[in-house]
Amino acid sequence: MLRHAKAEHTPGVLDFDRVLTNRGERNSREAGELIARLTPDLIVASPSARTRLTAELLGLEGVPIEFERDVYEAYTDDLIEIVRRTDPEVDTLVLVGHNPSVHDLVVQLSGPQTETFKPGAFAVIELPGPWEELDLGTGTLVDGHQP
């Protein structure tokens, strides 16, 4: 679970169209170096500008990115349903979304180990079974990063 990196707050720019700051771009690349060790199979991201850029700047060569409209403004239950729809052939999924739902999902899957989830933060959660059987409280937080 990855929260998009730091985004600009520019007057007159719609929330959906907000882009990353220079720091956000650096943090995305840094997260990509760490996430690459997990050998992800798929990235699912919100199509907003800041999540799109975060996902692309991870620099995970050969890892497909699917932009899922439902990740934008999703509640935790929505994210759970999106993850449950993941192809069973995918072993490692990177979900790039927004707070508070991304942090809430981390807490609901693995417990309240993190009080904050800053822009660019991610949590690695190990699940005990197939995606379609994802349920609250069944995950184990095995790693994480706060920029």
How long, in residues, is the chain?
147
Pick the CATH number of 2-145 from 3.20.10.10, 3.40.50.1000, 3.40.50.1100, 3.40.50.1240: 3.40.50.1240
pLDDT of the residue at 72: 97
Q: Which amino acid is at 112?
A: P
- CB contact burial 9-26 (16+ within 10 A = b; e otherwise): eeeeeeeeebebbeebbb
Backbone Cα Rg of the chain = 14
What is the residue extent of each domain of the chain?
2-145
Q: For residue 118, what pLDDT is reported?
A: 94
pLDDT in tens, the chain (147 residues): 999 999 999 999 999 999 999 999 999 999 999 999 999 999 999 999 999 999 999 999 999 999 999 999 999 999 999 999 999 999 999 999 999 999 999 999 998 776 788 999 999 999 999 999 999 999 999 999 999
